[in-house]
A and B are shown apart, each in its own frame.
Chain A
Amino acid sequence: AQPELAAWETPDFEEVGCAAEVTMYV
């Protein structure tokens, strides 16, 4: 039995918010 490998996608990130939103998330 082979473990199922997930599909690879190019790793990426996108900035979506500013300092005020950081405070809200935290």
Chain B
Amino acid sequence: MHPSSRPELTSHVRLTFDRVREQHLLLTPEAVSVLNPTGAAVLELCDGRRSVAEIVQELRGRYQQVAADEVARFLTRLVGKRYLEVRDA
């Protein structure tokens, strides 16, 4: 995952918040995944316009000590599951 890559949720994936269970969820036709709060915050910024570097920068305005390598690893896992697609700059 390159800092200039621009990740975006694929068309069959929906990011939502379950108010009953108070959990962020990723819904795909095949599976439900629970996200932790920072995972949801990262994905909310994956709009296909922001680069990974810009996403990290934005997170640093909200969180202490954001680890760029952790963000990149998280996004890479999601690309591997085909939940995210990446536009390379």
A residues near B (Cβ < 8 Å) are 3, 5-19, 21-22, 25-26
Contacts and interface: CB of A to CB of B under 8 A. Distances in A.
A18 to B, nearest CB: 6
Contacts, number: 75
Interface residues of B, number: 32
Contacts of A5: 62-64
Contacts of B67: 8, 10
A8 B66 contact: yes
A17 B31 contact: yes
Given A9-B38, A10-B70, A25-B18, A15 B63 contact: no
A14 B32 CA distance: 8
